[in-house]
Each structure stands twice: as C-alpha cells, then as structure tokens.
C-alpha cells in the first residue's frame, strides 16, 4: 500500500482503504437516530450530511505569488481571498485564515490532489489531510437562515452574508465554517467529534419550521 513519496521531508499517505472496507461518516449513526418530522413538501428546513468528502487543509503565504499560482494551477481554482470561496463542479476552496484554506474534493481524489499540490508548491507551505476529522452538514430551505440565526452570532442577511461567502464562527457551543452556496442553501463544516452535537442542535432548532431530513425535492429529481 505504501506509495512513493514525492517529498521525503514530510510523511504523506494515500489514505484510501481497500475496496471492502466500510466507511462511516461522522453523522452515520446520528442521522439514523433522528426522526424526520415533515415530508419534503411542507418542510421549510432541509438538513442532510454531505458525507465522506475529501478535505485538505492548505497552509501558505497568500502574498507569495508562487504559492497562489501553485495552488491555482494544481487545482484549476483561484485562491480565494478573505472570507470567500471558489468552486468548480467537483471542488470548493474555502478561505479560513490569511494563511489557511480548506479544499473540499472527492474523497478518492484527495491523495492525487495532495500530490499535485505538493508538486506545484515550493518553500514554506503545508498540506494536511483532514477528511476524517470534519464533515459537511447542509442546511437548506426558506427557514434555513432563521435556524442559523438561532445558532450563530454572525449576521446571515444577504448584505452581510452573500452567496459564496465563508465565515468561521461559533455554532452554538461549537465552531463551524459556514459557506453560503445559494440563497437558501448553506454548508456547515464541523469537527467530527462535535458533529453529533451540531446535528442535534440543528434538528432541534429547525423543528418549529418543519424539518425534512434530506435534500429538497427539486434536487432529487
């Protein structure tokens, strides 16, 4: 299973298991334990896990042109500036901090992408595979913003939080990186160990609006 390392100064691993291994996402058990309240027709809140995504933390100096160029050439995505994101069909790159980004990609591609990044980057940078360490909760529907208002101190109005913006803030008593994917479609990246708490918090806060576990109907057709 050991792959040839392109950079011997760091230890990198292809973390994909053999085919017969069962993967369980952070919310594998939590979702099964939650009772759906409303059918998709009546619901104003839709909640589901965007499970088992590949996730790489990329660290580097944004003001270093080589770094920005290296990342965008390896990913074919612009390195997003403060509180923003860039996305393609299979990937999204989220600004986390002045020297930190989160790449969301297909889990199967994570190692190949990490390798591409390391090949493209020089100098002081880091890439860390955190695919198992956090998960994406998706929150959609006409009352999704109200649920977020109950959950986080950051303003979710269109003016403060336009589509594409990324904000890392408090989510109740844990932390989340929140990305607005569309006007009523939000993505919350939470740490794995807190995911069950976040899930329970969100389902509880959603209940009064009519909660459906799963994606809105138009996405399913």
- 129-188 residues in contact with other proteins (CB under 8 A) are 129-134, 146, 149-150, 152-155, 157, 160, 167-170, 172-175
CB of 154 to other proteins, least distance (A): 7
d(CA 194, CA 44): 25
Name residues whose C-beta falls within 8 Å of residue 86's C-beta, 6 or more positions apart in sequence: 77, 78, 79, 80, 92, 93
* Cα separation of the two ends of the chain: 39
Please report, for residues 44, 83, 120, 131, 142, the alpha-carbon distance to residue 169 in angstroms, rounded to integers and kept in the order given. Answer: 24, 11, 31, 20, 22
Number of residues counted as binding other proteins (CB under 8 A):
72
CB of 151 to other proteins, least distance (A): 8
The site string for other proteins over 186-205 (x = CB under 8 A, - otherwise) reads -----xxxx-xx--xx--xx
The site string for other proteins over 38-77 (x = CB under 8 A, - otherwise) reads --------------x----x-x------------------
Name residues whose C-beta falls within 8 Å of residue 1's C-beta, 6 or more positions apart in sequence: 14
99 contributes a contact to other proteins by CB under 8 A: yes
Name residues whose C-beta falls within 8 Å of residue 168's C-beta, 6 or more positions apart in sequence: 96, 97, 175, 176, 177, 178
Look up residue 75 and give its two tokens: 């990913």
78 contributes a contact to other proteins by CB under 8 A: no
CB of 169 to other proteins, least distance (A): 6
- Among the listed ranges 6-14, 39-47, 113-121, 213-221, the one in contact with other proteins (CB under 8 A) is 6-14
CB of 30 to other proteins, least distance (A): 9
Binding residues among 101-120 for other proteins as defined by CB under 8 A: none
The closest alpha carbon to 103, from 73, 125, 71, 69, belongs to: 71
- Among the listed ranges 68-76, 92-100, 136-144, 181-189, the one in contact with other proteins (CB under 8 A) is 92-100
């Amino acid at each position: 299973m050991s792959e040839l390392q392109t950079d011997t100064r760091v230890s990198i691993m292809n973390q994909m298991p053999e085919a017969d291994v069962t993967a369980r996402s952070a919310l594998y058990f939590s979702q099964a334990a939650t009772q759906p309240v409303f059918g998709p027709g009546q619901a104003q809140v839709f909640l589901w896990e965007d499970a088992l995504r590949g996730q790489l933390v990329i660290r580097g100096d944004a003001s270093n042109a080589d770094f920005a160029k290296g990342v965008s050439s390896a990913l074919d995505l612009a390195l997003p500036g403060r509180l923003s994101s860039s996305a393609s069909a299979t990937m999204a790159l989220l600004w986390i901090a002045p020297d930190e980004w989160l790449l969301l990609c297909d889990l199967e591609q994570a190692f190949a992408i990490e390798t591409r990044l390391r090949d493209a980057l020089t100098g002081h940078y880091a890439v860390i595979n955190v695919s198992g360490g956090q998960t994406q909760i998706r929150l959609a529907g006409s009352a999704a913003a109200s649920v977020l208002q109950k959950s986080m101190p950051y303003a979710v109005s269109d003016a403060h939080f336009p589509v594409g913006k990324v904000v890392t803030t408090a989510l109740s008593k844990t932390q989340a990186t929140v990305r607005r994917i569309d006007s009523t479609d939000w993505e919350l990246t939470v740490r794995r160990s807190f995911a069950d708490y976040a899930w329970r918090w969100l389902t509880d806060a959603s209940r009064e609006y009519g909660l459906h576990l799963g994606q809105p109907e138009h996405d399913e057709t």
